[in-house]
Structure 1
Amino acid sequence: MEENQIGRQIAENRRAKGLTQEQLAEEFGVSPQAVSKWENGGSLR
C-alpha cells in the first residue's frame, strides 16, 4: 500500500468515527501534527 493510500485510509477512518485530528492524537499519545503528517504521508518513511 502506498504512503498516500495509508494516509487517506487513516483520515477516512478518523472522520467516520467523528474524530478530529486532535482527538485522535490524544488517543494515541502523539501530537496533532503527527496525525497530520500520517494523513499527508509525511512521516511514514
Structure 2
Amino acid sequence: MRALAAAAIGLAPVLLVMLLIAVMDVPPGETSPKPLHTTVPGLKK
C-alpha cells in the first residue's frame, strides 16, 4: 500500500507539468516541405 501511495505522489508533479504544457498556447508553426535525411548517404561510384 505504501508503494502505491509513493507512486501516486511521484506521478502527481509529472502529470501537472504535462497538463500545463497541454494547456499553454502553442504558436502556430510550419513544417518544411523538404524531407529530413537522417542517414549517411552511401559511397558514390
Q: TM exceeds 0.5? A: no
Decide which structure has greater helix share. Answer: 1
Q: TM-score, normalised by structure 2?
A: 0.34
Question: Which of 1 and 2 has higher RCO (CA within 8 Å, sep 6+)?
Answer: 1
